[in-house]
Amino acid sequence: MSSDPNPDQGWYFNTKTNQVEHLERGRSVDLLGPYPDEATARRALDIAKERTRQADAEDAKWNGD
């Protein structure tokens, strides 16, 4: 965990530990976020899946599939 004296106030989801983190966080490579609140951070994987689904649909449309 980082111990930044002036931490970012966002909420993050740690994909390695499957935990929501705030203020003290793990390595940035393991984090999704920042999110505005804890509840949204808890939904991080669902949000990422939906964004991926939307991007895939847009790619398919662009490619004429």
Is residue 40 assigned to a domain?
Answer: yes
Is residue 4 assigned to a domain?
Answer: no
Q: pLDDT tens across 26-37, in order?
A: 999 999 999 999
Q: pLDDT tens across 4-55, in order?
A: 677 678 999 999 999 999 988 899 999 999 999 999 999 999 999 999 999 9
**Which range of residues forms the domain containing residue 24?**
11-62
Render 2-51 in DSSP notation, one character per residue: ---SS----EEEETTTTEEEESS---GGGEEEEESSHHHHHTHHHHHHHH
Q: Which residues contact 45 (CB under 8 A, 6 or more apart)?
A: 13, 15, 32
Instruction: State the total domains in the chain.
Output: 1
Q: Could you tell me if 34 and 14 are in contact, meaning their C-beta atoms sit under 8 angstroms apart?
A: no
The DSSP call for residue 63 is T
